[in-house]
């Protein structure tokens, strides 16, 4: 990385040939008579296709006290239909060489499968049955609730997942849906009944709020024929409001949250603030700023903490993109003894990126990476289908993937500085450290980051 090394070897380095053109796969949007949207990208590389059903039933939808219902409902789709019990349903999919994943993220429920060409028609048919006629058997409702409780119990011994979850809890105001885990808490999951699931399903699962994305070895006409056969007589209301939640922060001043895990060999550190919504005009500049700060292996934060100091195996920052403002955060796991030294370096990097424009070589590293890596991201049918689902979910323009690289290349060092100043808020940042209190507490207090609150691993203030 030294200037000497660069001049010494620059002569020997092969440069690139002229770049070859790339186009994101062409896709077509169609709409069935019942309002269901179809998005098809024919990709004929291998005899395989991926199907995603995107349903307007995200985790932000639902009633207070029943957090987790969107995910539970999604998972229950596969636990039996009116004509087929759960184990049999799984068997029928797997005999087609495929398995279905169903889950809810903040802004939608996503049900997806990948199958060989010869099985794609029957697999979509079966998927139709799953989406249109789930039975929600009482026994399976109770079983999946118990599995979520087991997952929550397991999480208490998993420092990474626990730190992520605790961080978002302290970041958003308590009435925000984002302050409660997507999958719900012990209390909220326990409260959900089979009738609640049925009601949620009836409310959110509508043809007009559903998009079927198919990418792979199939034509648009063929896809439409299968979709018509499967979904055309699915009826339902044609007006579906989008769900919203508050995305307001819990505090406007800094605070330090320490989760006590005696004898932890590393400290999990999370630092950040509420970021910006996905459709914000600063999206591209924020992506580039983040790449320079902590998004890439060669970012400032990772090179500093890992390659310069050896404090960690990795340190990264990211924006969690949602329809509303998701978190912006820096995450790392550092050797317990180096916790505060590492945090100080992160704070230095945050101040630095807000104080002065990044160097043009840093900007070009980030933009040429994001530009060049673009075609590599879409090699597989599930990546292409996923990208199209994102397009639908965030109502992005149809030419989004065609113009993405031009937008990224247009970001300037002045943009990066402005974004860092506008969207990273040191005076309001929250920091969470999950680690061994005996090792980290003294040095953390000396850091004077902000008022300190201690929690146990169950999240109770101690």
Residue 298 buriedness (CB in 10 A; 0-12 / 13-18 / 19+):
middle
User: CB 371 → other proteins: shortest distance, Å?
Assistant: 6
Q: What are phi and psi of 115, to 5 degrees?
A: -140, 155
Distances (CA, A) of 159 to 152, 155, 334, 433: 12, 8, 12, 10
SS3 100: coil
User: CB 104 → other proteins: shortest distance, Å?
Assistant: 18
Residue placing its CB nearer to other proteins in the complex, 73 or 273: 73
User: CB 314 → other proteins: shortest distance, Å?
Assistant: 8
Residue placing its CB nearer to other proteins in the complex, 58 or 159: 159
Give me 303's structure tokens.
């090179």
Residue placing its CB nearer to other proteins in the complex, 310 or 451: 310
E-assigned strand segments in 34-159? 37-42, 48-55, 80-81, 84-85, 101-105, 108-116
Residue placing its CB nearer to other proteins in the complex, 120 or 131: 120
Give me 26's structure tokens.
């062409």
User: How many residues are given for the chain?
Assistant: 462
Residue placing its CB nearer to other proteins in the complex, 149 or 255: 149
Measured between alpha carbons, how far apart are the two ends of the chain, in Å?
Answer: 46
Residue placing its CB nearer to other proteins in the complex, 25 or 327: 25
User: CB 240 → other proteins: shortest distance, Å?
Assistant: 30
Task: Assess contact for 382 and 389: CB atoms under 8 A.
Answer: no
User: CB 422 → other proteins: shortest distance, Å?
Assistant: 26
User: CB 10 → other proteins: shortest distance, Å?
Assistant: 9
CA–CA separation, 183 and 67 (whole Å): 7
């Amino acid at each position: 990385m030294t200037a000497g090394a660069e001049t010494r070897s620059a002569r020997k380095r092969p440069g690139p040939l002229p770049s070859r053109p790339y186009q994101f796969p062409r896709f077509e949007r169609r709409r069935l008579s019942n309002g269901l949207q179809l998005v098809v990208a024919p990709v004929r590389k291998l005899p395989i296709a991926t199907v995603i059903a995107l349903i307007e039933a995200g985790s932000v939808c639902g009633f207070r006290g029943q957090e987790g219902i969107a995910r539970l409902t999604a998972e229950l789709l596969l636990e039996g239909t009116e004509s087929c019990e759960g184990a049999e349903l799984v068997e029928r999919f797997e005999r087609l060489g495929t398995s279905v994943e169903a889950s809810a993220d903040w802004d939608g429920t996503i049900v997806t499968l990948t199958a060989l060409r010869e099985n794609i028609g029957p697999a979509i048919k079966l998927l139709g049955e799953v989406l249109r006629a789930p039975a929600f058997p009482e026994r399976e409702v109770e079983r999946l609730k118990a599995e979520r409780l087991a997952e929550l119990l397991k999480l208490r011994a998993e420092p990474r997942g626990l730190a992520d979850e605790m961080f978002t809890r302290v970041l958003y105001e308590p009435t925000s849906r984002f302050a409660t885990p997507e999958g719900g808490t012990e209390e909220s999951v326990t409260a959900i009944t089979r009738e609640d699931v049925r009601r949620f399903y009836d409310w959110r699962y509508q043809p007009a709020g559903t998009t079927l994305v198919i990418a792979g070895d199939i034509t648009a006409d063929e896809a439409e024929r299968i979709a018509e056969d499967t979904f055309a007589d699915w009826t339902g209301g044609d007006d579906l409001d989008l769900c919203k939640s508050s995305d307001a922060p819990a505090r406007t001043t800094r605070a330090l949250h320490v989760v006590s895990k005696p004898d932890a060999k590393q400290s999990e550190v999370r630092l950040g603030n509420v970021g910006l919504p996905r459709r914000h005009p600063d999206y591209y500049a924020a992506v580039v700023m983040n790449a320079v700060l902590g998004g890439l292996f060669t970012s400032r934060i990772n090179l500093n903490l890992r390659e310069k100091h050896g404090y960690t195996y990795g340190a990264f920052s990211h924006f969690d993109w949602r329809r509303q403002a998701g978190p912006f955060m820096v995450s790392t796991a550092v050797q317990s003894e180096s916790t505060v030294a590492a945090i100080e370096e992160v704070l230095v990097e945050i101040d630095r990126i807000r104080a002065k424009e990044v160097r043009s070589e840093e900007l070009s590293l980030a933009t040429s990476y994001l530009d060049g890596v673009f075609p590599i991201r879409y090699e597989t049918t599930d990546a292409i289908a996923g990208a199209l689902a994102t397009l639908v979910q965030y109502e992005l323009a149809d030419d989004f993937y065609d113009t993405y690289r031009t937008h990224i290349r247009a970001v300037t060092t002045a943009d990066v500085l402005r974004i860092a100043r506008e969207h990273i808020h040191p005076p309001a940042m929250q920091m969470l450290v999950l680690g061994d209190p005996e090792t980290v507490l003294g040095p953390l207090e000396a850091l004077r980051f902000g008022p300190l609150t201690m929690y146990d691993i169950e999240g109770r203030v101690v």
